Amino acid sequence: MAEIFKGIPAIKYEGPESKNPLAFKFYDADKVVMGKKMSEHLPFAMAWWHNLCANGTDMFGRGTADKSFGQVPGTMEQARAKVDAGFEFMQKLGIRYFCWHDVDLVPEADDIKVTNARLDEISDYMLEKMKQTGIKCLWGTANMFGNPRFMNGAGSSNSADVFAFAAAQVKKALDITVKLGGRGYVFWGGREGYETLLNTDVKFEQENIARLMHMAVDYGRSIGFKGDFYIEPKPKEPMKHQYDFDAATAIGFLRQYGLDKDFKLNIEANHATLAGHTFEHDLRISAINGMLGSIDANQGDAHLGWDTDEFPFDVYTATMAMYEILKAGGLTGGFNFDAKNRRPSYTYEDMFAGYILGMDTFALGLVKAAALIEDGRLDKNIEERYASYRNSEIGKKILSGKTDLAELAAYADKLGAPALPGSGKQEVLQNIVNGVLYGKQ
């Protein structure tokens, strides 16, 4: 097999002092943090679509990056070349998982039977490579938003034929996920949403999405899929209103339709921020509901209101994210870099630089989050902040449900006015975080 990324060596850990752009400064796979190797804490995954397909095309201009890998775009030869490129890329970076949409793997034909035969062929080839390298599939999904037929969504489409077509794609994508031993199967609600209520029956559309998801669970379990299904929430883009707005909304939906036993959430940083939250907020909401499954690791731009899918480089956010993940006991899924190079970064070296940046950022986040936990002052403050419920008789009664409004009102009468609830100490705590992040330990 001819090397594709010629001149780019296997990426090694060289430490923070290294000036080599093609080396890790912080990601040291075997380094043990809180009892586990970095590589176990951080099961990184490559996103087939951004890394092997997207060439920088935007609304205003053609692609800048050549992702043909020496073959004619849109052919099966190119699809195979993408497999070669992807596995060489992952091996050189020490990445052990990948994620894909059906149409990232092969060109879509007019006839779904032809597309499906292509998927069978390419997945045979991927399986060979997986056996040779030990690299695994994190999750698969069906692209039910790109083709014009999905202009009104997939499960939420007004057309029963489009619904049926979406179901066929989900069925095949599940077949391939199982064939590749994928840990999960994702529903990102592509165009599951609406533009205007004037033409939309929201209740009908949401019920239909749930129907499609139930069918996916039934079929997946029937063919031996043991992993988690995931919803990947996103508030807007491409539709004005997306039904899976954020973690809390998606959890409510899953519970309402009885899907919460089979589904967890795949939280994408840039989607959480588009919803007006922080990444760590949606991680916390998922975790406390037992729904934290997997992560799309990227970041947005505070000055732009869309899904810019940048490689994560904000160490503070990565730290707060890893803090949530460590507290939740880790992920059953992994860290998929749903991220792309900026359009002017179009070289092969840039592809590696993006992943090195993302992996180093999360490695730093892991180390710093572990330091915050070991430091213990944040936990201690939380413990003290709610102590009145544990330490006072009335607090204990509230927690155990052994009181009522009448008793509490009588208590309040005796109290007169309660003392202020204690300082929030936000600035103190922020300075602790800075101390742990940047101080000499």
Positions in the binding site for Ni ion (CB under 5 A): 268, 296, 307, 338
Cis peptide leading into residue 238 (ω within 30°): yes
Provide DSSP, 171-188: HHHHHHHHHTT-SEEEEE
- 134-137: Cβ within 8 A, 24+ apart: 134/96, 135/87, 135/90, 135/91, 135/95, 135/96, 135/97, 135/98, 136/96, 136/97, 136/98, 136/180, 136/181, 136/183, 137/97, 137/98, 137/99, 137/100, 137/177, 137/180, 137/181, 137/182, 137/183
Indicate which residue of 104, 244, 296, 309 is catalytic.
104
DSSP 210-260: HHHHHHHHHHHHHTT--SEEEEE--SSSSSSEESS-SHHHHHHHHHHTT-T
Residue 214, CA atoms < 13 Å, CB-side half-sphere: 11
Q: Is residue 246 within the footprint of ligand XLS (CB under 6 A)?
A: no
Any contact of residue 191 with ligand XLS (CB under 6 A)? no
Rank residues 249 and 388 by Cβ distance to ligand XLS and give the closer one: 249
Indicate the residue among 205 and 268 with the shorter CB distance to Ni ion: 268
Q: Which is nearer to ligand XLS, 92 or 171 (CB)?
A: 171
Nearest to 139 by CA among 201, 216, 47: 47
| Shortest reach from residue 215's CB to ligand XLS, in Å | 19
Residue 87 as a binder of ligand XLS (CB under 6 A): the answer is no
At 32, phi and psi to the nearest 5? -95, 125
Rounded to a whole number of angstroms, the minimum distance from the CB of residue 186 to ligand XLS is 6
**Binding to ligand XLS by residue 123, rule CB under 6 A?**
no
- Residue 105 burial (CB count, 10 A): 26
Site membership for ligand XLS, residue 192 (CB under 6 A): no
Q: Which of residues 338-377 bind ligand XLS (CB under 6 A)?
A: 338
Decide whether 175 or 232 has the Cβ nearer to ligand XLS: 232
By a kind-dependent CB cut-off of 5 to 8 A, residue 13 interacts, out of ligand XLS, Ni ion, none, with none
In the region spanning residues 266 to 305, those forming contacts with ligand XLS, defined by CB under 6 A, are 268, 296
245 touches ligand XLS by CB under 6 A: no
Task: For ligand XLS, give the closer residue by CB, 146 or 330.
Answer: 146
Tokens standing for residue 191: 């165009």
d(CA 124, CA 119): 8
Q: Is-catalytic flag, 241?
A: no
104 assigned to active site: yes
Of 235 and 433, the one with the shorter C-beta distance to ligand XLS is 235
Q: Does 335 bind ligand XLS (CB under 6 A)?
A: no
192 touches, from ligand XLS, Ni ion, none (C-beta below 5 to 8 Å by class): none
Choose the catalytic residue: 41, 101, 277, 281.
101
H helices within 289-347, ranges in order? 315-327
By the rule CB under 6 A, 157 interacts with ligand XLS? no
Q: List residues binding ligand XLS (CB under 6 A).
A: 101, 141, 186, 188, 232, 234, 268, 296, 307, 338
Catalytic residues: 101, 104
